[in-house]
Amino acid sequence: MTARPLTTPPLAPQTRRTLLRLGIADTAALRRTGPAAAFLLLKAAGLTITESTLWQLVLLAKGRTDHLNDAEKAQWRSRLRAHRPVAVFPPQEEMAYWMRQSLHQAEQAAAAGEVPVGAVVVRQGEIIGSGANACIGGHSVCHHAEILALTEAGRKLGNYRLDGCDLYVTLEPCGMCAGAIMQSRIARLVYAAAEPKSGAAGSVLDLFAHKALNPHTAVLGGILADESTRLLQQFFSERRSDRQAT
């Protein structure tokens, strides 16, 4: 299907401008994002919009110039209700900066003989909690980097609910950490490398999209994924070499 620029009309001028700021400039980008996600992103960006905007987005994505019937509208309402939380994420450079702070924590974990995973909690441009994997040293499976960072942030704020905070972690969270992230009301989770064996943000399962769990956290993966993967691979390669040497 040929990509066409988003125009006014059919979109309202403010809607089109906001979509452009979100990187959705044509129908191909709209299809990649998805009409429901684009609609929710517009709301997250502060626009006051009605269902009519969703219908316009659906028709544009499908390359149609007619109208949605009642059954189609009902289907899209259902998709909207079931959609995982979305958010407008910071610029790429900003996310990379905070992820590098998490990678520094991961390097500290590796130096201590722990699986190299690090995390930081960011609020209003400041790190308020950080953590490096410490399960071996702490004799606790609960000492994952995410849990430690959330705990430190909660102590600093004097509240276990971390509304308005973002969490940056070098590896996709497991089920335990995903649950803690949702319970703490983290607004945005940014992770580096996917975890195909135990990832609970989309790789094995997606707890953040499970509506029965009342999710509050928007998720974005892949920020500095290569750096995180190299650190993990180096760590496990060295461990295998040590075992062979003994």
Provide the phi-psi class of 152: left if phi over 0, else alpha when psi is between -120 and 50, else beta.
Answer: alpha
Task: Tell me which amino acid residue 122 is.
Answer: V
HSE (CB half, 13 Å, CA atoms) of 125?
A: 1
Q: Give the catalytic positions in this structure.
A: 146
CA distance 118 to 99: 9
- Residue 129: its H or E element: strand 126-132
- CA angle 238/220/50 to nearest 5° reads 175
Burial of 40 (0-12, 13-18, 19+ CB in 10 A): buried
Binding-site residue set for Zn(2+): 144, 174, 177
CA dihedral over 162, 193, 37, 43, signed as positive or negative: positive
- Answer whether the bond into residue 9 is a cis peptide, omega within 30°: yes
Task: Tell me which amino acid residue 161 is.
Answer: R
Whats the size of the chain, residue-wise? 246
DSSP label at 124? T
Question: Side by side, which strands form the sheet with 188-193?
Answer: 126-132, 118-123, 166-171, 188-193, 218-221
